[in-house]
Amino acid sequence: MMKKVYGVMGDPIEHSLSPVMHNAAFEELGLNAIYLAFRVTRDDVGDAIRGAKCLGFAGLNVTIPLKEKALEFVVPDALANRIGAINTIDFGSGTPRGYNTDGIGALTVLKEAVGELRGKKVLILGAGGAARAIAFYLDSEGSILTIANRNVERAEQLAHALRNADSIGMDELAQRIKDVDILINATPVGMYPREDETLVDAGLMHPDLVVFDIVYNPMETKLLKEAKKAGVRTTIGGLKMLVYQGAASFRIWTGMEPPLEKMETAVRAALSVQP
C-alpha cells in the first residue's frame, strides 16, 4: 500500500514542529503515512494546493501567513467560511475541503486554564487567520472581545463580524489592558528565531490577568516571561493549542482518535533539544 503523505505549508516554516507531532502519532498508531513541511509563499498558495491534490496528498495544514489566502482554493465548511481562514485541508473526497481547527484548540486550552469564558473581557493581539478563529470561538462562548492590530482597519473588520467586540490600534494597548481578564497574543511576534520580541511588557500588565501566547516555539516566549515578571494570575503557552488543533486535523484526515499524550511528548522533546 502506498504511503499517505500529509504536510504543513507556510512561510517561514522552519520553526514548525507539526511534522514531529504528526509523525509521532502515525508511528504510535502504526499508520503508513508521513508528514512533511513545505515553504510556500503567499503568491504560490493556489499552485501548492493544486499540486498537492494532483500528487495524491491526503491532507495539509496551513500556517502563517497563508490561512486566509488558502481559503480561496478549497471548499470550506461553514465555520471556516465564516471565520475567513483555514488551517486544515482534506483531500479525501478528491475535492480540497477546508477546515479551521485553531479556534477549538485555543478554546480547549483556555477552558482548561480558566474555566467559564462567558462575560470574560478578552484582548486579542492580531487580526490574521489564527486571531480570527480564536475570536469567533470566544464570541460564541459569550466573551467580550477587543481586537488590537497594527492595521486598525483589519481589526475593525473582524470586530464587525462578531457579536460583542470592538477594535483598537496597538497604540491604545496600555489603556485597554487595565480592564481585561485575558490577553491573547495571536501574532507571530516572539516566535523563533526572534524570541526577544514582545508587544506587551510587564509594566502594562496587572496581577489578575491571564496571558495566553499561541506561539509555541520557544515554549516560554518573551511575552510569557514578562507576564511572570508582572506576577499575573496565569500564563499559558502555545504548545497545548498546537497539540489540540493538530489532533482535530488528525481526526478530520483519518477518522481516528489521535494519541494526544504521544503528540505532546514528541513536541516537548523536540523543543528541549533546540539551541
Asked whether residue 275 carries a pLDDT value surpassing 70, the answer given is: no
Q: Note the pLDDT of residue 153.
A: 97
Across residues 87-112, what is the average pLDDT? 97
* Average pLDDT of every residue of the chain: 96
- Supply the pLDDT for residue 168: 97
Q: What is the mean pLDDT of residues 101-114?
A: 96
Residue tagged 486571531 (cell numbers): 131
Question: Which CATH topology does 103-237 take?
Answer: Rossmann fold (3.40.50)
Q: Quote the CATH superfamily of domain 4-100+240-272.
A: Leucine Dehydrogenase, chain A, domain 1 (3.40.50.10860)
Confidence of residue 274 (pLDDT cuts 50, 70, 90): low
* CB 232, CB 209: distance < 8 Å: yes
Q: Long-range contact list for 41-47, CB < 8 A, 24+ apart?
A: 41/11, 42/11, 42/66, 42/69, 45/9, 45/69, 45/70, 45/72, 45/73, 46/72, 46/73
165 three-class SS: strand
- What mean pLDDT do residues 124-130 have? 96
Query: What single letter denotes the amino acid at residue 262?
Result: K
Same topology, domains 4-100+240-272 and 103-237? Answer is yes
Domain ranges of the chain: 4-100+240-272, 103-237
Find where cell 473582524 sits.
Answer: 158
| Structure confidence at residue 174 as a pLDDT band (50, 70, 90) | very high
Q: pTM here?
A: 0.94
Catalytic residues: 67
Segment 48-59 shows an average pLDDT of: 98
* pLDDT on residue 219: 93
Rounded Cα distance, 188 and 197, in Å: 10
Q: How confident is the model at residue 22 (pLDDT cuts 50, 70, 90)?
A: very high
pLDDT the model gives residue 169: 96
- What is the rounded CA–CA span in Å between residue 90 and residue 174? 42
The neighbouring-strand residues paired with 236 are 212
